[in-house]
Amino acid sequence: MRRGFWWATLGYAVVTLVLGMIWHFVWFHNLYHQLGIYNRQEPIIPLGMLSMLIQGLVLAYLYPFFYKAGHPITQGITYGLLMGLYMYSVSTLANAAKIVVAPISTWLGIQALFHAVQFVLAGALIGLAYGRTGTHGV
């Protein structure tokens, strides 16, 4: 696999790690605590990092199948938002269906905002990592 694949993977993982830690543990820590959605006293950071790495590998692998001629940032953001919608359905909507969180509208809203920011940034980096070719040589 070419360099674009690894840069895309790294870009996703770094954006997700940094944004996730600041978002969940600093900016909105009290809100998430009030919602009661994250109830583990001490999060297992290595497990979260592994999750981000796996997501990054999958997203970096799939991007070339999505890419169409166009500006890499625009293509990346479009791809990112599409994948973000998928991740939102898996992580947020599915959790809301299984876990008591109140108010549910606040949970859905704050997570929608998080995923939008996350996947615009990550998508732009994925697009830049591949550039105008959109291929990874597989």
Q: Please indicate, yes or no, if residue 14 is contained in any of the structural domains.
A: yes
Secondary structure, 3-state, the chain: CCHHHHHHHHHHHHHHHHHHHHHHHHHCHHHHHHHCCCCCCCCCHHHHHHHHHHHHHHHHHHHHHHCCCCCHHHHHHHHHHHHHHHHHHHHHHHHHHHCCCCCHHHHHHHHHHHHHHHHHHHHHHHHHHHCCCCCCCC
Mean pLDDT of 91-96: 91
Side chain identity, residue 81:
L
Whether the bond into 103 is cis, omega within 30 of 0: yes
What pLDDT shows up at residue 1? 57
Mean pLDDT of 3-25: 94
pLDDT tens, 33-52? 888 887 778 889 899 999 99
Q: Please indicate, yes or no, if residue 138 is contained in any of the structural domains.
A: no
More confident of the two residues 101 and 16: 16
Q: Please indicate, yes or no, if residue 34 is contained in any of the structural domains.
A: yes
Containing domain of residue 99, as a range?
3-130
> Band of the pLDDT at 67, cuts 50, 70, 90?
confident
Q: Please indicate, yes or no, if residue 72 is contained in any of the structural domains.
A: yes
Mean pLDDT of 77-83: 97
Per the structure, the count of domains in the chain is 1
Q: Can you give the pTM of this predicted structure?
A: 0.89
Mean pLDDT of 112-136: 89
Q: Please indicate, yes or no, if residue 95 is contained in any of the structural domains.
A: yes
Q: Please indicate, yes or no, if residue 137 is contained in any of the structural domains.
A: no
Query: Average pLDDT, whole number, for the chain?
Result: 90
What pLDDT shows up at residue 14? 95
Q: Please indicate, yes or no, if residue 136 is contained in any of the structural domains.
A: no
Q: What percent of the chain has pLDDT over 70?
A: 95
Q: Please indicate, yes or no, if residue 135 is contained in any of the structural domains.
A: no
